[in-house]
Chain A
Amino acid sequence: MTVASEKRTLLTIVTETVLEDALLRDLEKLGVRGYTVCDARGRGNRGVRNGRYEEAANIRIEIICPRALADQVVAHIQAQYYANYAMVAYLHEVDVLRPEKF
């Protein structure tokens, strides 16, 4: 049998640790109801960000929400942060089991 599920969008943002507080405040203002944050390290066009100390540390934020809200968040962070910060964001379609949560 298949489990009842619904489509939502998973938005993943990888960015600088220093932005964490500001970004989470923005998300709440935009109406995001939940998110998961974890420490991350990696390499991109701003060089190796190995997390040795805060300036060189990254975080990964994951948000599951309706597509419209995800688009709104992406538009906001693009305008606000893309130019000057190390930031990557991408969208995924995911199946969620309890749609009322997201």
Chain B
Amino acid sequence: MIDVVILFFLLGLAAGLARSELKLPAALYDSLSLVLLLAIGLKGGEGLSQQPLGPLAPQLALVIALGVAQTLLGFTALRYLGGLERADAAATAAHYGSVSVATFAVGANWLASRGIAFEPQLAIFLTVMEVPAILTGIVLARGVSREMNWRGLAHEAFLGKGVTLLLGGMAVGWIAGPEGLAPIKGLFYDLFKGALALFLLEMGLIVAQQAGELRRRGAFIVIFGLATPPLSALLGLACAWIMGLSAGGAALLATLAASASYIAVPATMRLAVPEANPGLSLAAVLGVTFPFNILVGIPLYYWLASKLTGAGG
């Protein structure tokens, strides 16, 4: 049975492709993403308040390495197989080395609606994996030079809306714990699915806008957008296996690895690598990879993860 939130995505996609008048107010989209980011942060923080944080350090180092490795591999493929310009290859690779909160939310929802648990530190992984790819992408495009406004970029990368809300939500959840969070559960946990459904409706509309761009870009970018997620997911599963995560946790880490950023990275890359074409990266990420992951990828990654961890299914 297809998840109801996915049906909302398909509705938005169909409406967008049919050039419907449907348009969500920008303020609603911003509010929904705020609720989703905080809810993910709160849930992670709540889980972390029940367990020691010490063992997390090596795991964090591993996911940072994962983000850097994905960006380097993506760059190599785009530059040498795809023949892209250096700047375009670096910027696009950074999108793929980073993560998508929306994809994570769909994955978490997919697991939750099947009663499959996952480790709370996945929320931290989500936060941590945003940044290394951005920095790697900038170095690939520019080299390490003194002229770069590293302070401004660090500000952009570490204090963007996403990281602030995720880390902030985690801190609140960690301090408040389950009892403290009980009064606001209604908004952030119970309404999560509804908020996600509306958010995905808008995502469908945004994805539909990429159709024209994709037609202009040709086959390579579509193939890259389809082939990268499963390969990245395998890297994610390998990391999950090293960490000894549960099937749910492994599937979600694979989802993170497979996902590609379309908010934090485009904004930062636009400033740091202005000569890269943002339309190219977004066409691949939004037009191909995001729909692939939420429609096909997540169930596939869970199936692989359950084989890997021997959880059955």
- Do A22 and B271 touch (CB < 8 A)? yes
Contacts of A53 in B (CB 8 A): 26, 29, 206, 263
Q: Given A52-B206, A52-B209, A53-B29 in contact, is the A18-B271 Cβ separation under 8 Å?
A: yes
Q: Which one of B1-9, B173-181, B274-282, B297-305 is at the interface?
A: B274-282
- Do A52 and B205 touch (CB < 8 A)? yes
Q: Does A83 contact B (CB under 8 A)?
A: yes
Digitize B244-286: 1 where CB-to-A-CB distance is under 8 Å, 0 elsewhere.
0000000000000000000100110011001100110010000
Contacts of B274 in A (CB 8 A): 81, 83-85
Q: Given A18-B267, A54-B263 in contact, is the A83-B275 Cβ separation under 8 Å?
A: yes
Contacts of A84 in B (CB 8 A): 274-275
Contacts of A55 in B (CB 8 A): 266-267, 270, 278, 282
A51 vs B282: C-alpha distance when bound (angstroms): 15
Digitize A48-91: 1 where CB-to-B-CB distance is under 8 Å, 0 elsewhere.
00011111000000000000000000000000010111000000
CB of A79, distance to nearest CB on chain B (Å): 13
- Interface size in chain A (residues, C-beta < 8 A): 14
- Number of residue pairs A-B, CB distance < 8 angstroms: 34
- Do A51 and B275 touch (CB < 8 A)? no
- Do B270 and A52 touch (CB < 8 A)? no
A52 vs B270: C-alpha distance when bound (angstroms): 17
A54 vs B152: C-alpha distance when bound (angstroms): 18
A83 vs B273: C-alpha distance when bound (angstroms): 12
- Do B205 and A18 touch (CB < 8 A)? no
CB of B159, distance to nearest CB on chain A (Å): 12
Contacts of A18 in B (CB 8 A): 267, 270-271
CB of A82, distance to nearest CB on chain B (Å): 11
A18 vs B29: C-alpha distance when bound (angstroms): 18
- Nearest chain A residue, comparing its CB with the CB of B278: A55
- Nearest chain B residue, comparing its CB with the CB of A80: B274
Digitize B200-230: 1 where CB-to-A-CB distance is under 8 Å, 0 elsewhere.
0000011001000000000000000000000
- Nearest chain B residue, comparing its CB with the CB of A48: B209
Q: List 9 A-B contacts (CB under 8 A).
A: A18-B270, A19-B270, A51-B26, A52-B26, A52-B206, A53-B29, A83-B274, A83-B275, A84-B274
